[in-house]
Structure 1
Amino acid sequence: MPVPPPTGPLVTRDTVAAQLRTLGVRSCEILLVHSSLSSLGWVNGGAVAVVQGLLDALGPAGTLVVPAQSTELSDPALWSRPPVPEEWWDVIRATMPPYDPLTTPTRGIGVIPETVRTWPGALRSAHPHTSFAALGPHAREITDGHAPDCRLGEHSPLARLEKLGARVLLLGAGYDACTSFHLAEYRTPAPLVDVGRPAPGGGWETLTEVSISSERFDELGHDFERDRPVVRGKVGAADVRLFSLAEAVAYAERWLPLHRPAEDFPHPGV
């Protein structure tokens, strides 16, 4: 049986750059991008063409930032996608390779962030679970100093992006992927959780961290978009949203205590 042709639309590097400029992406700005390659249509060149288009729209003075999470470097007791047998846990903890910004792959966030992570000149922050990768003049300023006990708080790239006036681009991704909202969790009452991971020098370590979850982020994003300026449009077939990171964090700081109190906070799995 013949394979049907793709339905499109046909998307190229130039398509991405031109449509981003039409939406208002500015050369020389700092852009935190959450993305879904499959949402765009048929992309000639795949993730490489998308990254090229993003860099074209930003220009040489702009900075591209993506999440570069590697949540597999975590306690197997919390894994749920998929879980592993309990009798494996001790062996997994004892043999799990430590985090290496150069070689540890991203996990669960799509091929575009992994393409940015491996792009020539890309820098990556030091947190073994929730790092960020960046390309451009502000890359080092954004990625340096990511504290090992601060996934997405004041000592993470998110706080630096807020200070630098970055904007967020949801490129075919929903508000459930919007990491900026997590910065607000660090500024509102939230429970703590013990986080296990391979230690940099070998062995296993456990740190106490703020518990984070994207629970109800879609609802939060809906309300944010209703009340604050959000640019909406299309790149290829993908729905796109563009907005101020600082405004999103400030809105979430007010919204979360009212709609997701700490006592209802779920314990996230991995």
Structure 2
Amino acid sequence: MAFPSAVMLGDPDFVPVTRSGITRGVQALGVRAGDVLMVHVRLSALGWVVGGIDTVVHGLRDAVGPNGTLLAFCGWDDSPYHVKFWPETWQRAYDDLPPFDPAVSSARRDFGRFPERLRTWPGASRSGHPEVSFAALGPHASDLLTETDDPWGPDGPLGQLVALDGRVLFLGAPLKTLTLCHHAEAIADVEGKRFHEYRMPVGAEWRDYSTLDTFYGSLPYDAHGIDHPVAVLAEQAVQAGAAREGKLGEATTWLFNAPATVAAAVHWIERTF
């Protein structure tokens, strides 16, 4: 938010969230120098942040230090993932869609402001899958941003996050957005996984893709009465002791251990399906 609310103005003890406050807050939660850290941010949940989303990036970079790396899930804003289900006139409109370019194409707006801010930060890199792209900033960026036909799998960015003993930080974002759970779905040893086939413009051509269907449901969760499967999987990690809860500004914060989170989610998936 750009200015204090009336409630804040009426509270002389209210303290806005600052760059150093973010650094201290996430370090108190357990973030360490040198961490490989995937981040989910709901900026509005933090309250009044002096400097907005730029301050969040600065504060996180201060916390992980020059040897640490930040990671965010970008996707692609207004990608044609769903187009084949739309009316023909709508589909034809997407014939004129500018092709995906990792250096130019915006991150999805409904992922919040952090992925796009990290993507455009000087020195940041982005992976090349048009639907399942990630941005990273730091010395482990090239290790994380691998190119693979299975971006949710063990060779994708989330698999590399686990291999690097990374963590996932939530700053006010809901646990139903724990993207790491899709990696657990990808590697779990169960039948009946659902995949989505779609076409994307990349460079001078449209290419065919098939990835785990994380939007419509990668497993038959509906048969079990589950509306928000990622939230259920995140809760398994919490119950397994793979996460720590804290507070920053007005927001609830969480820090998940990536390998332990995936192990808990995989165990639940394999037990359930």
Is the counterpart of residue 113 in structure 1 residue 104 in structure 2? no
Q: Deviations over 1:121-175 (max 9, x none)?
A: 00111111121111111111211x322x323212311111111110111111122
Aligned identity (percent) is 35
Give the paired residue count: 250
Q: Residue 248 of structure 1 aligns to which amino acid in structure 2?
A: T
Name whichever of 108-117 and 183-192 sits farther off: 183-192
Residue number in structure 2 paired with 1:146? 147
Distance 1:123 1:91 in 2: 30
1:194 maps to what in 2? 197
1:42 maps onto 2:48 in alignment: yes
Q: Distance in 1 between matches of 2:7 and 2:55?
A: 18
Deviations 1:63-115 (A, max 9, x none): 11111111522244367xxxx654121231x2111111111011121111111
Correspondence for 1:123: 125
Deviation at 1:9, TM superposition (A): 5.1
User: 1:18 maps to what in 2?
Assistant: 24
- Structure 2 unmatched ranges of 5 or more: 9-13, 218-227
**Structure 2: which amino acid aligns with 1:95?**
D
CA offset at residue 237 of structure 1?
1.1
Aligned counterpart, 1:264 = none
Instruction: Return closer, same or farther for 1:186/1:112 CA change in 2, 3 Å cut-off.
Output: same
Instruction: Spell out the pairing of 1:18-97 with structure 2 (5 A cutoff).
Output: 18-70=24-76, 72-77=78-83, 85-92=87-94, 94-97=95-98
Report whether the alignment pairs 1:249 with 2:262.
yes
- Partner residue, 2:172: 172
Q: Is contact 2:46–2:172 with CA below 8 Å preserved after alignment?
A: yes
Give 5+ residue unaligned stretches, structure 1. 262-270
Give the TM-score normalised by the residue count of structure 2: 0.85
- The residue aligned with 1:237 is 250
Alignment-mate amino acid for residue 164 of structure 1: L
CA RMSD of aligned residues (A): 2.0
CA offset at residue 181 of structure 1? 0.8
Q: TM-score, structure 1 length as denominator?
A: 0.86
Report the residue type matching 1:129 in the other structure.
Answer: E
Q: Could you list the runs of 4 or more consecutive aligned residues of structure 1 that deviate by over 4 angstroms after TM superposition?
A: none
Secondary structure of the structure 2 residue equivalent to 1:209 = strand
